Amino acid sequence: MNILQTGNPRLKEKSRKIPLSEITGKEIKKMLRDMKETLRKEPQGIGLAAIQIGIPKNIFIVSKYVLDPESFPEKEDAEKLKLKKEKESYLVFINPRLVKSSRKKALLPEGCLSVRKKFGVVKRATNLTVEAHDENGNKFVRGAGGLLAHVVQHELDHLDGVLFTDKTESVEK
């Protein structure tokens, strides 16, 4: 699947909630397969929202590498990276809802697969709790800190039609 790029008006759409009865259906299963395959092809990609492939539904995936960033190979090691990406697994968030976030914020560098070759620094909560459903329709509540908290907030923004460039003070190439 192609990832929509900045300037495409669909990226500004607010995503719609998925009825619980549809979560385990063929359409969502196919969408998740497509999203995972798309993200596997992105060497430095660690998260992807459905809207980024043109589907305005409340769903995003995050690479499990964010749970152990040290396990992610350096971008210079292309062959090792390719092997890791082939085995990559994902956290799935369907109809996610931010339950709470810490008052403590941190500025972290950020990029986006929909804003190629541009980076900025975004202030986000250092810790959060999110409620969502997994690909089997099971509801879960998960705490997140560090990189995972940052990525979850970035992906939640996508579901509201917000890009990191809407939040950063400066964008660098």
pLDDT on residue 144? 96
- Those residues of the chain that have pLDDT short of 70 are 69-85
Q: Does the annotation count 155 as an active-site position?
A: yes
pLDDT on residue 142? 97
pLDDT on residue 77? 64
pLDDT on residue 87? 75
Check 88, 155, 169, 172 and give the catalytic one. 155
Q: What is the pTM of this model?
A: 0.91
- Sign of the C-alpha dihedral, residues 64, 24, 31, 120? negative
pLDDT on residue 136? 96
Q: 98 with 144: CB under 8 angstroms?
A: no
pLDDT 10s digits, 24-56 = 999 999 999 999 999 999 888 899 999 999 999
Give, in degrees to the nearest 5, the angle at Cα 41 between 39 and 43: 90
Spell out the domains of the chain, with CATH numbers in brackets: 9-172 (3.90.45.10)
